[in-house]
Amino acid sequence: DIHLGTRRKHLLCLVSSVLAGCVPEWLQGTLLRNGPGLFKVGDTEYNHWFDGMALIHSFTFKDGDVYYRSKFLRSDTFKKNTQANKIVVSEFGTMIYPDPCKNIFSKAFSYLLAAIPDFTDNNLINIIRYGEDYYASSEVNYMNQIDPMTLDVIGKMNYRNHIALNMATSHPHYDDEGNTYNMGTALMRFGMPNYVIFKVPVNASDKEHKKPALRKVKQVCNIPFRSTLFPSYFHSFGMTENYIIFVEQPFKLDIVRLATAIFRSANWASCLRYDKEDLTLIHLVDKKTGKAVSTKFYTDALVVFHHINAYEDDGHVVFDMVTYKDSNLYEMFYLANLRKETHEFIESNKVNFSPPVCQRFVLPLTVDKDTPNGTNLVRLKDTTAKTVMQGDGSLYCLPDTIFEGLELPGINYKFNGKKYRYFYGSRVEWTPHPNKIGKGDIVTRKYIEWTEEDCYPSEPVFVATPGAVEEDDGVILSSVVSLNPKKSPFMLVLNAKTFEEIARASIDASIHMDLHGHFIPTQILCGLRLSPPHPTMTAFHICGRRWQSYKIMSRW
């Protein structure tokens, strides 16, 4: 833990020694990573790992060298907490209650009147792009725009100023033209509650006049809730060339409990509930018309956080996602649980442990209503997934299991929305912190992995070799946390085909387990007209060359 009360300085730039290998000269760009990095302020402490204050770090690859930088996200939440020297802003699993001396009836009235609480802007989940603007994001209506080179906050953004949303995902999609598609939830303050799909054009930014990209946001479609007071929770969605796939799962947000959480002395996490007796409804929306396909697709109750990829094939929409049989994953990440010894953690969680399962679903686009009940409508030969006609005209989907035990999936993004073969992810076994990263081959169903003792790698990120033709021609990047005091954390570079190590650059500082990230190629960074790299930024010289140290820049 980093304790702000000690006034510890946090390094913006630092020197690394070199262990081995050679970073490819063609690898040019910056990998931004985001995740919780601060769990205690003064004498107060967060309850849940997803509550920690956001810490962003970056790895810049230039001419065979690697540069490192990290900084806490200077959000309003960060400023309020540090100024008070205690946690004063509520998070997902840690609720900060008002002064108990205040009139209880006044408190109840004010929260019920608001209906939906004003959320934190501690954006700790991902880095997303709208136009040419980059944002630290979570799943609420607030984002913080950042300079991807200096990691400084440029400004705070509120979705509500541009589109009627209370929450939005941190996993948007980018089409071949560079347009961004995302999805959010509009709750009761904005009239009839809906799920909202929206698009931000690639040319939406206006750097000269400092106008935000979201000013050009366009609504694609509204999808009504199945149940007005119980909208589905969603963390991501699927997209093909022509369709959006939204999975309305029975993992639900209880609106009444959310509106009264502080009054009831409950945290927001307790407002999510899983109804294992319910069904999962799958919505298919035409991207161009904004109209949903009239066919009703459904499957058994499940929980999903991450979609892997989706594509169209011979009159079918195929989509892959990581599913769970229940919602117990959230419970595993309470800090009291994570601090248990490995054997104790396994013993206390093995009964409720639900492993992630990568599953393929197939939706036929053409449905003859006269098809006999019980008929499988999937004609594809490369999957065992089925979609069966029901007596009421709806279609029941039976998935094809691709692999068990991989989470935080990633692909070669040039194949996003297209037929693909490979995906990469973090191996999840008896601990919520993965100690392996792997590559799955959907065609052969084979799997390879990288692992090292006492090492915990982050979500693997694929970067393609320039001009690559083969889907897996490139490298995998992962920042690795070491529990061995004699081994520094390091940036790992793997051959994406073989998962053999190409290079690693150690970091002379402690780094955090993060969540998600975004790779920005140098040619894009050069066109952003942002602040140049600080002259004191430090290079990691690989390839056996003597490593060179510059002045270390640190800042409170």
Bind-site residues for Fe cation: 171, 235, 306, 516
The partner residues of 60 in beta bridges, in order of sequence, read 30, 67
Overall residue count recorded for the chain in this entry:
556
CA distance linking residue 323 with residue 302, whole number of Å: 6
Strands 395-398 and 297-299: parallel
Tell me how crowded residue 467 is: count the other CB atoms within 10 A of its CB: 7
- With a CB cutoff of 8 Å and minimum separation 6, the contacts of 338 are 49, 332, 345, 432, 433
User: What are the two backbone dihedrals, phi and then psi, of residue 50, each rounded to the nearest 5 degrees?
Assistant: -75, 0
DSSP type of residue 481: E
CA distance linking residue 526 with residue 189, whole number of Å: 41
Closest residue by Cα to residue 108 from 305, 264, 333, 247: 264
Annotated binding residues: 171, 235, 306, 516
- With a CB cutoff of 8 Å and minimum separation 6, the contacts of 413 are 174, 462
CA distance linking residue 534 with residue 477, whole number of Å: 23
- With a CB cutoff of 8 Å and minimum separation 6, the contacts of 397 are 282, 297, 298, 299, 361, 362, 363, 385, 386, 387, 388
Tell me how crowded residue 305 is: count the other CB atoms within 10 A of its CB: 21
CA distance linking residue 297 with residue 247, whole number of Å: 10
411 and 432 Cβ atoms separated by less than 8 Å: no
CA distance linking residue 138 with residue 150, whole number of Å: 20
Find the helix or strand (DSSP H, E) in which 185 lies: strand 180-186
Beta-sheet strand order (sheet of 436-441):
406-410, 422-427, 436-441, 447-451
Say how many Å lie between the first and final Cα of the chain, rounded. 16
